[in-house]
Amino acid sequence: MRNQVQLIAYADRFGGTIDGLHRLLDEKFAGVFGGVHVLPFYSPYDGADAGFDPVDHTSVDPRLGTWADIKSLATSYDVMADLIVNHVSSHSPQFQDVVAHGRDSAYAPMFLTMSSVFPDGATEADLTAIYRPRPGLPFTALRLGGELRYVWTTFTPEQIDIDITSDLGRDYLHQILDAVAEAGVGFVRLDAVGYAVKTPGTSCFMTPETFDFIAAFTQRARERGVEVLVEVHSYYRDQVAIAEKVDFVYDFALPPLLLYALSTGDGAALAAWLRDRPTNAVTVLDTHDGIGIIDAGPRRGEKAGDPVRPGLLTEEQVDTLVAGIHERTGGSSQAASGATASNLDLYQINSTFYDALGRDDAAYLAARAIQFFAPGIPQVYYVGALAGGNDTELLARTNVGRDINRHYYSPAEIDAALEQPAVRALLQLCRLRNTIGAFDADDLTVDLTGTVLTLHRGATDGPRACLTVDLGDGSASMEWTGTDGVAGRLDDLRQLLD
């Protein structure tokens, strides 16, 4: 995987098709992105959860293109694809056969019910121990072959959890891996993998059995030339532990820490994390999901009386962060978050990152510069690449909180956005990130003096780069030596906005 900035995008919302996305990258974003994470393009891409509930995970939705289009894209860019390991659509032919025939279906072992995990029944303690991303228990009462069963549905009733320990479940996932590898996909994101293994008597989230599954699946992927990114929102120490066992892990703590630092001028937590974070990370400020809060906050005890484990931010700081986002977005993020809109994770705030910063161009550039200086592979979400604001009209139509950050861009809107000073500046910053040799090393030196954060990248005997950001006002300067040996300097990143 080349060490360059990557794009995250839905093909239908940014380009219209896979080929359209490919042409956008070539024609409008030349030199900006070395790779692209194409969000679910499987059949159907527009299901109950924007493609994360595939009916057929081994086929490309013909409305978006074909596997040949993915292979063509992969000849020019590093391509990442989602591998949805936890569940499949309730409309899939396999589950529909179980609906029709119940226990007599050949596919019955592929899906989880309450009784398949708790054959002897579950106590109240068993059920309350299950870690939940959303309110309520992870079961939906459905008739299977005329028999009412409690089917395991971690996210929604239309997403049926797979028994990945069964032969059918393993074969299903391996077929998907083979399909994407054959198409030239070099990177898979294991979506919702933290919930994939259900072990009775545990939280059923990131258990030792989950790590065993990730290790086995990663080995199989590597045999096919595919690297694995693990997607888990959780306590920051979990991310550090996960990183030791996988190819790549998301740095989900970085976005809330940057928002807090740039809105308060207090960079202590950010600096501490930059010194401690794993380097085999994919760095993001925005994705198709919300801005994680749990990733930077403290961990409450699972049982009454258990101590609270300190986070990167205190509970009071988290409250300040959340209140500040809601204020800067004029309340639109509050209308899209928590229990106020459907299909949400309660530990995330739904907003574009640009709006979460109050559309402050200088602060936005400073945040991206810090992201690009953090060791790892940086990814920029398509809405963030265009400095997009909250889509309250789409939210009103769908009442899905995360849709506030999932705008459908027309060609005219893309052209208009590319004229925005913040967008032009960000794309220049991406091009710089792709050509500065210092970023090929994982070295990072962090200094915080008052509100001034200074980051140094590069080995002492090779190319170097330095970023200085005043967190109090968002002003920033940068100097570097490029891969061609040419030195450069920007005394003020805001000059990119001219």
Taking only the tens place, the pLDDT of each residue in 60-113 is 999 999 999 999 999 999 999 999 999 999 999 999 999 999 999 999 999 999
Which token pair is 47? 């299901």
Dihedral in degrees, nearest 10, Cα atoms 186, 188, 189, 192: 180
Other C-beta atoms within 10 Å of 116: how many?
A: 17
Q: Given a cut of 70, is residue 254 above it in pLDDT?
A: yes
Task: Tell whether pTM > 0.85.
Answer: yes
What is the rounded distance in angstroms from the CA atom of residue 95 to the CA atom of residue 393?
A: 35
Residue-wise pLDDT tens digits, 424-474: 999 999 999 999 989 988 899 999 999 999 999 987 677 899 999 999 999
Residue type at position 105: S
Measured CA to CA in angstroms, residue 223 lies from 169, 216, 219, 226, 399 at distances of 20, 11, 6, 7, 42
Strand order in the sheet with 487-490: 444-449, 452-457, 465-470, 476-481, 487-490
DSSP-derived secondary structure letter, 269: H
Buried/exposed 305-325: b ≥16 CB within 10 Å, e otherwise: eeeeeebbbeeebbebbbebb
Q: Cβ of 381: how many Cβ atoms within 10 Å?
A: 25
157: left (phi over 0), alpha (psi -120 to 50) or beta: alpha
- Catalytic residue check, 191: yes
- CB distance 33 to 24 below 8 Å: no
| Catalytic position from the list 12, 82, 191, 295 | 191
CB atoms within 10 A of CB 484: 9
**Minimal CA–CA distance to 255: which of 353, 323, 326?**
353
- 3-state SS class at 192: coil
How do residues 25-54 score in pLDDT, each as one tens digit? 999 999 999 999 999 999 999 988 888 999
**Catalytic site includes residue 447:** no
Tell me the pLDDT band of 310, cut-offs 50, 70 and 90.
Answer: very high
Active-site residue (options: 49, 163, 231, 295): 231
Q: What is the DSSP code (8-state) at residue 163?
A: -
Give the amino acid at 240: V
> For the residues 185-197, what does the mean pLDDT come to?
94
Q: Are 353 and 367 in contact (CB under 8 A)?
A: yes
User: What mean pLDDT is reported for the chain?
Assistant: 93
Given a cut of 80, is residue 346 above it in pLDDT? no
